[in-house]
């Protein structure tokens, strides 16, 4: 049965972008189902939209062995997957240093080069700023050697500034240790101690919320 739980004027005087986003949101005429994340959340989509933007999705639905049933995506969380769909349907990408690691992962996974380019622009603009520690963390995890080296060089010269940045406490233990091992890092022992206290406290809070 066709869906009836939607506004009668969702097509009238609306742009193409508005209409297709509405169809996604209200699951109108969707023809594929994804099970996303560890909780296998149901997400309904339109095959033609995904196939039109990604060679991976095109092969998935139109290749030699097309998917017939539900598509399981255990390695992407629901929020990131919905952000991916928003980009595919509207060209609007919700991107920040807080989610760039997840966004880059799905951009690589589904071969969305324009999406990767947007991530590169953000990383480039953040390498030589107080956010360099977060760039270093992301670049290390995703093996982006150029960004990793540039951010680490900036951190070495501006360690005190970088360690005091609000998002520095979000970096992984491995990256934190790499930064603290830098020779001639431009920061005092007091700066390091204060950072370690904040970082450890942040890790404790994060573990409690798991």
Q: What is the pLDDT of residues 133-183, one digit of tens each?
A: 999 999 999 999 999 999 999 998 898 888 888 888 888 888 888 888 887
Q: pLDDT tens digit string along 17-53?
A: 999 999 999 999 999 999 999 999 999 999 999 999 9
Query: Facing residues of 45 across strands?
Result: 32
Q: pLDDT tens digit string along 80-127?
A: 999 999 999 999 999 999 999 999 999 999 999 999 999 999 999 999
pLDDT at 183: 75
The DSSP symbol for 88 reads H
Final residue before a domain boundary, out of 41, 63, 90? 90
User: Residue 65 falls within a domain, yes or no?
Assistant: yes
Residue 30 CB partners (closer than 8 Å, separation 6+):
23, 24, 44, 45, 46
* DSSP-derived 3-state class of residue 71: strand
Residue 80 tokens read as 């990131």
Higher pLDDT, 86 or 197: 86
pLDDT at 191: 85
pLDDT at 2: 46
User: What integer best gives the mean pLDDT of the chain?
Assistant: 90
Whether residues 76 and 137 fall in one domain: no
pLDDT at 6: 63
Whether residues 71 and 16 fall in one domain: yes
**Helix, strand, coil fractions of the chain, as percent rounded to 5:** 60, 5, 35
Taking the CA of residue 14 as centre, how many other CA atoms within 13 Å lie in the half-sphere pointing to its CB?
14
Domain count, the chain: 2
Query: Facing residues of 72 across strands?
Result: 35
User: Residue 35 falls within a domain, yes or no?
Assistant: yes
Final residue before a domain boundary, out of 66, 90, 114? 90
**Boundaries of domain holding 147:** 127-210
Q: Which helix (H) or strand (E) holds 158?
A: none
User: Residue 20 falls within a domain, yes or no?
Assistant: yes
Final residue before a domain boundary, out of 33, 68, 90? 90
Higher pLDDT, 88 or 2: 88
């Amino acid at each position: 049965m066709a869906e009836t739980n939607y506004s009668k004027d969702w097509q009238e005087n609306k742009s193409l972008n508005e209409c297709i986003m509405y169809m996604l949101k209200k699951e109108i005429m969707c023809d594929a189902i994804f099970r996303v994340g560890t909780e296998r959340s149901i997400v309904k989509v339109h095959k033609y939209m995904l196939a039109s933007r990604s060679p991976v999705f095109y092969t998935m639905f139109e290749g030699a062995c097309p998917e017939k049933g539900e598509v399981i995506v255990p390695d992407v969380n629901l929020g990131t997957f919905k952000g991916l769909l928003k980009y595919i349907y509207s060209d609007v990408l919700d991107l920040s240093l807080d989610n760039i690691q997840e966004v880059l992962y799905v951009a690589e996974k589904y071969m969305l080069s324009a999406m990767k380019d947007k991530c590169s622009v953000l990383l480039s603009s953040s390498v030589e700023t107080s956010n360099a520690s977060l760039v270093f963390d992301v670049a290390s995890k995703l093996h982006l050697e150029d960004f990793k080296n540039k951010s680490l060089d900036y951190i070495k010269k501006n360690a005190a500034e970088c360690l005091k940045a609000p998002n520095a406490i979000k970096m992984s233990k491995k990256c934190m240790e790499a930064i603290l091992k830098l020779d001639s890092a431009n920061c005092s022992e007091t700066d390091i101690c204060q950072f370690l206290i904040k970082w450890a406290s942040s890790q404790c809070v994060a573990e409690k919320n798991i």
